Structure 1
């Protein structure tokens, strides 16, 4: 019988399989980056806008930010209430306060105040400091007394001002002494004329009384130094010649005159 060759059985091919596994580094897994949702940015902006709006409404409508009262310093004759009213700050929101404008209003509306300072801070705290002009004279109008300061401001008084002029006569329009009259009194005092009783007549100005007994019409406004110098020469002439006039008028220094017969 013929011999048949025995066939070798081929070994089955071994296939290699690689299994994917997560990368592990010493027992720690690398985290995946988180993706932030798109809506969170818009929500944040909305919250911020709401907060800003709420703060704006609070600043606008809260009574804490409105000037309802102030602290006033430096007043003697003027009341704090009058200063507050003149400032224009009452019930004004602190964000709309203009300190310089308030200062200007006070000085403009209150003649006796020569200077004002306004300082305001949050929430609505304001301090007003004022300087008042010094008193100059007592003014008598019929049976009423008033004190007059160097700005012409007038306030009611119950007694004469110690060491000041005592003027009898009408007060100018508006309840304030005319600036020319104030100027005349100030200049006379600077020239060494002691404050004394003096009359004021519209159209003639101030009328002094000389120690010799006659009247001296000096007028009003500036130029008192020249007028008083002229009067000194006129008086010297009168005394040297034994003349006792009823009045001497030196309102016009280049043409002074006197009268021994006519009333002034």
Structure 2
């Protein structure tokens, strides 16, 4: 019987062949795996940062607009002299306990600005729990009698307060019953333009129309001023003119002053 022969051929690189791994191939494989893990971690970091950011925004909105942690605990008023802080707070109408961020500052300014004695107002949030109301009050430069009441008038011609007695430091404005509001405003502009040396010598100011305004001095002499136009020039001309002996001084045309 013939002996079986054994093939001397080696198995080729088929499915059953073991993989050949070299050090260079192993390093490449490891670098590839590290890059994959880094990409996955970067993607998760972006997702995590987005979630944390959204949570922070939602939390901040809740804290500012809905929680009681930053709600109004009080109102601070600055700049008042004739008005009391209590008057300003009452008109401002700011609800205690309302979240500070939800207070409509423009509406508060509008309400406080409606007070006749307020020339300007600025309202701001004083974190964490107060509203700050800063008021600039009107300053009286003259007194006018209206309806039997002595009223203070500012440089804009706004009547804003009462006086029980006429202050000695303020000139009086006298008017006719038909004097219009524009004429009173013009009279206020004239008084505001007077230097202290002249203003102190004025007993009262007669206002009839916007261009018929006269100063009556304490000694009875009269200055025909005209309108408020060129008041600065008129105020510079008048002191020299008053050196002349006269009862009436006319500076309504400051380039050609006259006396009588």
**Which TM class, normalised by the smaller chain length?**
0.5 to 0.7
Instruction: Report the structure, 1 or 2, having the larger helix content.
Output: 2
2:80 is the alignment partner of 1:75: yes
**Deviation at residue 75 of structure 1 after TM alignment:** 0.9
Q: Distance in 2 between matches of 1:138 and 1:146?
A: 5
Larger radius of gyration: 1
SS in 2 for 1:185: helix
Q: Distance in 2 between matches of 1:211 and 1:122?
A: 54
| Corresponding position of 2:26 | none
**Deviation at residue 82 of structure 1 after TM alignment:** 5.7
Give the 3 Å change call, closer, same or farther, for CA 136–64 of structure 1 in structure 2.
Answer: farther
TM-score (norm. length: structure 2): 0.54
Maintained 8 Å contact 1:205/1:218: yes
Provide structure 1 residue ranges, at least 5 long, that are not aligned to the other structure: 1-44, 260-264
TM-score (norm. length: structure 1): 0.54
| Corresponding position of 2:222 | 215
Report matched runs for 1:1-264 at 5 Å. Answer: 56-57=61-62, 59-62=64-67, 65=70, 67=72, 69-80=74-85, 83-84=88-89, 93-96=99-102, 109=114, 112-113=117-118, 116=121, 118-153=123-158, 154-169=160-175, 173=181, 178=185, 180-194=186-200, 195-210=202-217, 213=220, 215-227=222-234, 229=237, 233=241, 236=244, 239=246, 249-254=250-255
SS in 2 for 1:135: coil
Q: Deviations over 1:46-73 (max 9, x none)?
A: 9x98998687556534466554851212
**Deviation at residue 81 of structure 1 after TM alignment:** 5.6
**Deviation at residue 146 of structure 1 after TM alignment:** 0.9
| Corresponding position of 2:42 | none
Q: Distance in 1 between matches of 2:135 and 2:231?
A: 31
Q: Distance in 1 between matches of 2:94 and 2:144?
A: 33
- Say what the alpha-carbon RMSD is for the aligned residues: 4.8
Q: Distance in 1 between matches of 2:73 and 2:117?
A: 25
Give the 3 Å change call, closer, same or farther, for CA 108–251 of structure 1 in structure 2.
Answer: farther
Give the 3 Å change call, closer, same or farther, for CA 253–205 of structure 1 in structure 2.
Answer: same
